[in-house]
Structure 1
Amino acid sequence: MQAHPHSVSSSLTPQALLRLPKVMNTTGLGRSTIYRMVAKKQFPRPIKISVRAVAWRQTDIADWIEARTPPA
Protein backbone atom coordinates (compact mmCIF):
# COMPACT_ATOMS: atom_id res chain seq x y z
CA MET A 1 0.00 0.00 0.00
CA GLN A 2 1.30 3.45 -0.92
CA ALA A 3 1.70 6.14 1.73
CA HIS A 4 -0.55 9.16 1.60
CA PRO A 5 1.41 12.03 -0.03
CA HIS A 6 0.81 14.31 2.98
CA SER A 7 1.58 11.77 5.69
CA VAL A 8 4.61 12.25 7.90
CA SER A 9 7.16 9.47 7.94
CA SER A 10 7.18 7.55 11.20
CA SER A 11 10.95 8.16 11.40
CA LEU A 12 10.41 11.92 11.73
CA THR A 13 9.80 13.46 15.14
CA PRO A 14 7.46 16.42 15.13
CA GLN A 15 9.12 19.65 16.21
CA ALA A 16 7.60 21.25 19.30
CA LEU A 17 6.63 24.90 18.93
CA LEU A 18 6.71 27.29 21.85
CA ARG A 19 4.54 30.39 22.13
CA LEU A 20 5.90 33.60 23.65
CA PRO A 21 4.85 33.00 27.30
CA LYS A 22 6.66 29.63 27.32
CA VAL A 23 9.76 31.16 25.66
CA MET A 24 9.76 33.93 28.28
CA ASN A 25 9.40 31.40 31.09
CA THR A 26 12.09 29.11 29.65
CA THR A 27 14.67 31.83 29.01
CA GLY A 28 13.88 34.27 31.81
CA LEU A 29 13.73 37.08 29.24
CA GLY A 30 10.90 39.57 28.83
CA ARG A 31 8.87 40.17 25.68
CA SER A 32 10.64 43.40 24.70
CA THR A 33 14.07 41.88 25.27
CA ILE A 34 13.24 38.85 23.14
CA TYR A 35 12.02 40.94 20.21
CA ARG A 36 14.93 43.39 20.55
CA MET A 37 17.38 40.46 20.46
CA VAL A 38 15.56 38.94 17.46
CA ALA A 39 15.95 42.27 15.63
CA LYS A 40 19.69 42.27 16.43
CA LYS A 41 19.96 38.60 15.35
CA GLN A 42 20.99 37.61 18.87
CA PHE A 43 17.98 35.33 19.47
CA PRO A 44 16.22 32.77 17.27
CA ARG A 45 13.58 34.17 14.92
CA PRO A 46 10.02 32.96 15.46
CA ILE A 47 8.11 31.23 12.71
CA LYS A 48 4.68 32.33 11.57
CA ILE A 49 2.08 29.71 12.48
CA SER A 50 -1.01 31.67 11.44
CA VAL A 51 -1.96 35.12 10.24
CA ARG A 52 -1.54 36.66 13.70
CA ALA A 53 0.52 34.12 15.63
CA VAL A 54 4.18 33.17 15.84
CA ALA A 55 6.07 30.49 17.76
CA TRP A 56 9.63 29.40 18.29
CA ARG A 57 11.04 25.94 17.57
CA GLN A 58 11.83 24.28 20.88
CA THR A 59 15.16 23.06 19.49
CA ASP A 60 16.17 26.61 18.49
CA ILE A 61 15.52 27.83 22.04
CA ALA A 62 17.34 24.84 23.56
CA ASP A 63 20.34 25.46 21.25
CA TRP A 64 20.36 29.16 22.18
CA ILE A 65 20.38 28.29 25.90
CA GLU A 66 23.07 25.64 25.40
CA ALA A 67 25.29 28.14 23.58
CA ARG A 68 25.13 30.43 26.62
CA THR A 69 25.73 27.75 29.25
CA PRO A 70 29.34 27.69 30.41
CA PRO A 71 31.06 24.30 30.33
CA ALA A 72 31.03 22.43 33.63
Structure 2
Amino acid sequence: MQTEDRLIPIKEVCKMVSISQATIYRMRQRKTFPEPILTSGQIVRWRLSDIHYYIQHGRASPEAHTER
Protein backbone atom coordinates (compact mmCIF):
# COMPACT_ATOMS: atom_id res chain seq x y z
CA MET A 1 0.00 0.00 0.00
CA GLN A 2 1.44 3.36 -1.05
CA THR A 3 1.06 6.19 1.46
CA GLU A 4 0.75 9.77 0.39
CA ASP A 5 4.10 11.54 0.70
CA ARG A 6 2.87 14.96 1.64
CA LEU A 7 5.06 17.92 2.47
CA ILE A 8 5.01 19.18 6.05
CA PRO A 9 6.19 22.42 7.69
CA ILE A 10 8.87 22.72 10.37
CA LYS A 11 6.33 23.11 13.19
CA GLU A 12 4.76 19.76 12.33
CA VAL A 13 8.20 18.17 12.03
CA CYS A 14 9.11 19.49 15.49
CA LYS A 15 5.97 17.97 17.00
CA MET A 16 6.58 14.62 15.34
CA VAL A 17 10.19 14.27 16.50
CA SER A 18 9.90 16.26 19.75
CA ILE A 19 12.85 18.54 19.10
CA SER A 20 13.14 22.27 18.55
CA GLN A 21 13.59 24.10 15.26
CA ALA A 22 17.07 25.20 16.31
CA THR A 23 18.08 21.59 17.00
CA ILE A 24 16.73 20.46 13.64
CA TYR A 25 18.80 23.13 11.87
CA ARG A 26 21.94 22.12 13.81
CA MET A 27 21.34 18.48 12.95
CA ARG A 28 20.89 19.40 9.28
CA GLN A 29 24.31 21.09 9.33
CA ARG A 30 25.79 17.82 10.64
CA LYS A 31 23.84 15.83 8.01
CA THR A 32 22.08 13.85 10.75
CA PHE A 33 18.56 15.04 9.90
CA PRO A 34 16.69 14.89 6.59
CA GLU A 35 17.07 17.87 4.31
CA PRO A 36 13.93 19.81 3.45
CA ILE A 37 12.86 20.74 -0.02
CA LEU A 38 11.94 24.19 -1.27
CA THR A 39 8.49 24.48 -2.77
CA SER A 40 7.37 27.44 -4.84
CA GLY A 41 9.32 30.46 -3.77
CA GLN A 42 11.26 29.97 -0.56
CA ILE A 43 8.76 27.78 1.32
CA VAL A 44 10.62 25.03 3.21
CA ARG A 45 8.89 21.66 3.70
CA TRP A 46 9.94 18.13 4.63
CA ARG A 47 8.70 14.94 3.02
CA LEU A 48 6.61 12.99 5.49
CA SER A 49 8.34 9.77 4.37
CA ASP A 50 11.75 11.25 5.27
CA ILE A 51 10.52 12.12 8.77
CA HIS A 52 8.98 8.67 9.25
CA TYR A 53 12.30 7.11 8.21
CA TYR A 54 14.13 9.30 10.71
CA ILE A 55 11.73 8.30 13.50
CA GLN A 56 12.03 4.58 12.67
CA HIS A 57 15.80 4.46 12.14
CA GLY A 58 17.14 7.34 14.23
CA ARG A 59 18.97 8.82 11.26
CA ALA A 60 18.33 10.43 7.92
CA SER A 61 17.74 8.19 4.95
CA PRO A 62 20.56 8.35 2.38
CA GLU A 63 17.94 9.46 -0.15
CA ALA A 64 16.83 12.29 2.15
CA HIS A 65 19.88 14.33 1.12
CA THR A 66 19.15 14.17 -2.59
CA GLU A 67 16.42 15.68 -4.71
CA ARG A 68 13.74 13.25 -5.80
What band does the TM-score fall into relative to the shorter chain? 0.7 to 0.9
> Post-superposition, which runs of at least 4 consecutive aligned residues in structure 1 deviate over 6 A?
none
* TM-score, normalised with respect to structure 2: 0.76
Cα distance between partner residues in 2 of 1:47 and 1:41 = 14
- Per-residue CA shift, 1:20-47, capped at 9, x if unaligned? 1100110101011001101110000000
1:1-72 → structure 2 map (5 Å cutoff): 14-68=4-58
Other-structure match for 1:8 = none
Query: How many percent of aligned residue pairs carry the same amino acid?
Result: 35
Give the letter aligned to residue 66 of structure 1: Q
Secondary structure of 1:22's aligned partner: helix
Give the unaligned 5+ runs of structure 2.
59-68
* TM-score, normalised with respect to structure 1: 0.72
